[in-house]
Amino acid sequence: MARWTPEGREAPLKPVSVMWTQGVDHVEAQLVVSTVRELLQLVYTIGNQVGLALPTITIRPFGTWYIPSVPEGTPYWGTRWYVDTSFDAARQQVIGARFLDLVRNEPWQKSSPHWDVAVIDWDLVDQARAPADESRQPFVLGMTVPELGTVLSVHRLRGLVRAEHRELALRRLVLQEFGQVLGLPSRSRQSGIELAEGRRFCTNRCVLRPATTVAQLVRVAEQERSDSVMLCEQCRRDVVEMILMRGRSPN
Ligand SMILES: [Zn+2]
pLDDT in tens, 189-201: 999 999 987 889 9
- At residue 157, the pLDDT reads 98
pLDDT (mean) for 216-223: 98
> How far apart are the CA of 23 and the centre of ligand 1, in A?
32
Ligand 1 centroid from CA 66, angstroms: 37
Domain with 210 in it: what CATH number?
Answer: 3.40.390.10
The whole-number pLDDT of residue 249 equals 46
> What does the alpha-carbon distance between residue 21 and residue 119 come to, in Å, rounded to a whole number?
7
- What confidence tier does 89 reach under pLDDT thresholds 50, 70, 90? very high
Which domain does 171 fall in, by range? 2-7+14-248
Q: Ligand 1 mean position to 223 CA, how many Å?
A: 14
CA dihedral 104, 105, 111, 116 (to 10 degrees): -30
Q: How far apart are CA 145 and CA 104, in angstroms?
A: 9
- Number of Cβ within 10 Å of residue 44's Cβ equals 17
Which residues have CB less than 5 Å away from ligand 1 (the ion)? 202, 204, 206, 208, 232, 235
Residue 229 CA to ligand 1 centre (angstroms): 10
97-148 pLDDT, tens digit per residue, is: 999 999 999 998 888 899 999 999 999 999 887 666 666 789 999 999 999 9
Average pLDDT, the chain: 91
CA distance 41 to 45: 6
pLDDT, tens digit, 9 for 90 and up, residues 155-183 = 999 999 999 999 999 999 999 999 999 99
* Residue 9: per-residue pLDDT: 56
CA 118 / ligand 1 centre spacing (Å): 23
Q: How far is the CA of 175 from the centre of ligand 1 (A)?
A: 11
- 61 Cα: distance to centroid of ligand 1 (angstroms): 27
Distance 196 CA to ligand 1 centre (A): 15
Taking a C-beta distance cutoff of 8 angstroms, is the pair 18, 119 a contact?
yes
Q: How far is ligand 1, taken at its centre, from the CA of residue 4, in Å?
A: 25
Output DSSP code: residue 231.
S
Query: Quick one: average pLDDT of 217-227?
Result: 97
Rounded to the nearest angstrom, the distance between the alpha carbon of 231 and the centre of ligand 1 is: 5
Residues of the chain with pLDDT > 90: what percent? 78
State the total domains in the chain: 1
Closest C-alpha to 141, from 171, 115, 164, 163? 171
pLDDT tens, 46-72?
999 999 888 888 999 999 999 999 898
Over residues 10-26, the mean pLDDT reads 92
Counting residues of the chain whose pLDDT is more than 70, the rounded percentage is 91
Query: Does 6 have pLDDT greater than 80?
Result: no
Q: How far is the CA of 179 from the centre of ligand 1 (A)?
A: 10
Q: Report CA(126)–ligand 1 centroid distance (Å).
A: 23
Instruction: Single out the residue of 19, 151, 176 nearest to residue 95, CA to CA.
Output: 151
